[in-house]
Structure 1
Amino acid sequence: MDSKLTTHVLDLSKGLPAQGMKIELWAIADHGEHTFIKEVYTNKDGRVDDPLLQGDDLTPAEYELVFYVGEYFNDKATDSYIRPFLNKVPLRFGISSTEEHYHVPLLVAPGGYSTYRGS
């Protein structure tokens, strides 16, 4: 199996992939220290072009994806009276196996979000 970490973002307010959303990946140490790993942007399909982590870079640990939904919705706003409630959405999760595919999708609208472990 190809071990990797992937994500995608769907804009529920439009029913479309969220193109151009900034995402940061952080590693979280046992004592809570955050270590920045990378910054990526979603493509036209709401996905990133390459896995966030794969192979030897995917190690058992706690990670956090930070989705910049406020910037995304502010940039896409067509009505100046509608502003998103959310700013940054952090999703913290654990990777326990180097033999699995971890997929962390975000379903988002200006006022809320949902996630799950995808495949």
Structure 2
Amino acid sequence: MTDEKTAAQAGGISIHAVDVARGIPASGLTVRLRRLSPDPALVAEGACTATGHFIHPVAEGTGVLRGTYEVEFDVGAYFRAGGVSLPDPSFLDVAVFRFGIDAVHEHFHLPFKFTPWGFSLFRGGA
């Protein structure tokens, strides 16, 4: 199967971020999604919407191949921009999560729940 055909059949990667410390969607949270292997690339970058969703073509499968990925969330900058007082340096500045995609045709939903002190992220049902 060619990479082009695999990419066309990709299920996608979606992200929904919630600031559980304040009980609100993470509007404005910066997200970066990188493919680490087989060929390293920045697949998606941007900010979550007012609903906490990361809207990007990657959610529909664009750029998604079988391989290893890493997603980064700029948690410290998000809380500082929201007026939350953080220590310097902050305990959690950038949350990083590494995961693999074997069945590229499946959809991978990443629900990200976080506070200034920690986070939860797993493969959710979407």
- Short-chain TM bin: 0.7 to 0.9
More strand by share: 1
Q: Does 1:21 align with 2:22?
A: no
SS at match of 1:20: coil
SS at match of 2:55: coil
Which residue does the alignment assign to 2:14?
6
Cα pair distance change 1:44/1:98, threshold 3 Å? same
Q: Does the aligned pair in 2 maintain the 1:6–1:51 contact within 8 Å? A: no
Q: Does 1:90 align with 2:96?
A: yes
- Mapped to 1, the partners of 2:10 and 2:40 lie a distance apart of 26
RMSD, aligned α-carbons: 2.2
Any gaps of 5 or more consecutive residues in structure 2?
1-8
More helix by share: 2
Q: Give the TM-score, by structure 1 length.
A: 0.84
Equivalent position amino acid for 1:103 in 2? H
Any gaps of 5 or more consecutive residues in structure 1?
none
- Mapped to 2, the partners of 1:10 and 1:56 lie a distance apart of 24
Which residue does the alignment assign to 1:74?
80
Which residue does the alignment assign to 2:111?
105
Taking only the aligned residue pairs, the percentage that are identical comes to 30
